[in-house]
Chains A and B, each alone.
Chain A
Amino acid sequence: RKEVEQDPGPFNVPEGATVAFNCTYSNSASQSFFWYRQDCRKEPKLLMSVYSSGNEDGRFTAQLNRASQYISLLIRDSKLSDSATYLCVVNGRNSGNTPLVFGKGTRLSVIA
């Protein structure tokens, strides 16, 4: 089983739609979880951290399910500018946040 697995997509959704991405991780001792966004030919940028109780940032909601070892990202009211690849990131060790392991990413295209 890969350390971090994501559905590669692409997800093609109309503007205004709600879209959800899931990610599973293999290390039950992982402590740090993030979603990064990566635009084409650009570096990854932190979208949001994922906390145990779940957290929301505007149109974005992240959830963590430790029992099932998955995290999710929900995007409401999709905008054209949300088109990007979304990377699930998990720390692969028991302590600290190193090394962070990235999934392959899920591509999202929001269509007008």
Chain B
Amino acid sequence: DTGVSQNPRHKITKRGQNVTFRCDPISEHNRLYWYRQTLGQGPEFLTYFQNEAQLEKSRLLSDRFSAERPKGSFSTLEIQRTEQGDSAMYLCASSLAGSNNSPLHFGNGTRLTVT
């Protein structure tokens, strides 16, 4: 399968715990994005990388959130001291830079439930 891969698919954690999600983009894509989606809403932008550089972070990304893409391939998103409001679907997407019309290709997402 050459699509975007995310794991785990589901994560249930207790409030206050730390969680980490992983995303493997399409191999030839140099841009990688993290979005968050809650019920009844569209995906909300969190952050994105071009190769290993984190180029933009949304104000939605509080200091409890950190994302890395150390070698310009896979990425991790860590949430520290989780809160119930962090419960959402976390979507990773990748694309090719350099074209204004390069669409995003999404992974299956990681559904986080904070109890």
Contacts and interface: CB of A to CB of B under 8 A. Distances in A.
Interface of A: 4, 8, 31-32, 34, 42-46, 49, 87, 91, 95-105
Nearest to B95: A97
Q: Is the interface of A mostly helix, strand, loop or mixed?
A: loop
Contacts, number: 58
A97 B99 contact: yes
24 contacts: A4-B42, A31-B100, A32-B100, A32-B101, A42-B108, A43-B107, A43-B108, A45-B106, A46-B103, A46-B104, A87-B42, A87-B43, A96-B97, A96-B100, A97-B95, A97-B101, A97-B102, A98-B31, A98-B55, A99-B48, A99-B56, A100-B104, A103-B42, A104-B42
Contacts of A95: 100
- Closest 5 A-B residue pairs measured CB to CB? A102-B42, A43-B106, A99-B45, A46-B103, A102-B43
Category for how many chain B residues contact A? 20 to 34
Contacts of B43: 44, 87, 102
Given A34-B103, A43-B91, A97-B102, 16 more contacts: A44-B104, A45-B106, A46-B104, A49-B103, A91-B100, A96-B97, A97-B95, A97-B101, A97-B103, A98-B56, A100-B33, A102-B43, A102-B44, A104-B40, A104-B42, A105-B42
